[in-house]
């Protein structure tokens, strides 16, 4: 186990590749929107922008072991549960779609948060998803009407 942990530490400490890995991963997930966020942060707090690229994307999001889709779903879950991170939630819902997550998976993750974080958080998460889905013209509202569930009764 120590060897596995020391290997992970050595991997994340590669200084030359950390920034590039972070920029590449951020681009795959959040695209131009993520870069705009980091660039705007760098104008007022350069270190915060660097931490996002280097640590969040270069070390954490880039680790082997989980797909980017799984990582985005976990992030959506956490941001939904927080209940106060709508801008970040929208970026990560968009990012989840960018890396191949299905709208239905995103909806299920957000809906499950009603159990653990409460209905207000889940409702706010669904509202964020609706905005992203409408912008991208994906999700249940844009699927084949024959495939939509209708309420019984």
Contact 62, 22 (CB under 8 A): yes
* Residue 44 structure tokens: 């007022």
Contact 69, 100 (CB under 8 A): yes
- Select the more confidently predicted residue: 36 or 145: 36
pTM: 0.82
**CB neighbours (10 Å) of residue 89?**
25
Looking at the predicted structure, is the pLDDT value of residue 69 above 80?
yes
Say how far apart CA 6 and CA 10 lie, in whole Å. 6
Q: What are 82-134's pLDDT values in tens digits?
A: 999 999 999 999 999 999 999 999 999 999 999 999 999 999 999 999 999 99
Please state the length of the chain.
153
């Amino acid at each position: 186990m120590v060897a596995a942990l020391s290997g992970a530490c050595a991997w994340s400490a590669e200084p030359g590749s950390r920034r590039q890995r972070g920029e590449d991963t951020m681009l795959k997930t959040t695209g131009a929107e993520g870069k705009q966020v980091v660039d705007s942060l760098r104008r007022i707090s350069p270190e915060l922008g660097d931490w996002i690229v280097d640590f969040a994307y270069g070390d954490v999001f880039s680790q082997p072991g989980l797909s980017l889709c799984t990582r985005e779903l976990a992030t959506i879950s956490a941001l939904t549960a927080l209940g106060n991170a709508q801008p970040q939630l929208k970026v990560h819902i968009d990012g989840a779609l960018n890396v191949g997550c299905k709208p239905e998976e995103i909806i299920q993750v957000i809906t499950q948060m009603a159990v653990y974080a409460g209905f207000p958080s889940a409702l706010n998460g669904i509202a964020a998803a609706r905005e992203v889905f409408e912008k991208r013209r994906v999700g249940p509202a844009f699927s084949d009407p024959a495939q939509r569930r209708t309420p019984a009764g």
